[in-house]
Structure 1
Amino acid sequence: MYSNEIFGTRLKDLRKLCGETQQELAELLGVKPNQIGEMENGRKASTFAKLAQICEHYNISADYLLGLTDEPRPLREETTGG
């Protein structure tokens, strides 16, 4: 079931795992850093457009971010050249 808290926790975990600051993610999404903090703390939700950007950026399925599954599946499979 979706909750802002689950979304926020998972967003924060992904951001930290990638070594990004709230400022860096905010710049990518075209929002202010405090909006990232509000999303991570469960006080605000993301728009569909921003959700899509986040999924693309972190290569993670929306169902994981939204709390519909606990399995963090990639949005697209990584390919290796060779």
Structure 2
Amino acid sequence: MYHNELFGLRLRKIRSRNHETQKELAEILGVKPNQIGEMENGRGATTLAKLAHICEHYNVSADYLLGLTDEPRPLVSEKKEEE
């Protein structure tokens, strides 16, 4: 089941693991840094287009970010990248 808070926690976790600041992610998505903070704190949402961009940028499934699965499956498997 989707909850803004879970989406925010997972977004913050993935962003931090990639050593990116809120400002850097905001620039990638074309939004203001405070919007990233609002998403990470569960007070804001994003568009489907930006969700897709986040998934592509971090190579993680939307299902994981949205809380539909607990497994952070990559969008592109390593096998496909090697081919």
Q: Do they fold alike, i.e. is TM over 0.5? A: yes
Distance 1:43 1:3 in 2: 10
Counterpart of 1:62 in structure 2 is 62
Cα distance in 2 for partners of 1:36, 1:56 equals 17
Letter in 1 for 2:82: T
Cα distance, 1:80 vs. partner?
Answer: 3.1
Pairing of 1:3-82 with structure 2 (within 5 A): 3-78=3-78, 79-80=81-82
List 4+ stretches of structure 1 deviating above 3 A.
none
Q: Offset at 1:51?
A: 0.1
| Paired AA for residue 12 in structure 1 | R
- Matched residues in 1 for 2:33 and 2:45: separation? 14
Corresponding letter in the other structure for 1:43: R
SS class of match (1:71): coil
Identity, % of aligned pairs? 73
Provide the aligned length of Structure 1 versus Structure 2: 81
SS at match of 2:82: coil
Q: Which runs of 5+ in 1 are unaligned?
A: none
Which structure is higher in helix share? 2
- What letter is aligned with 1:66? L
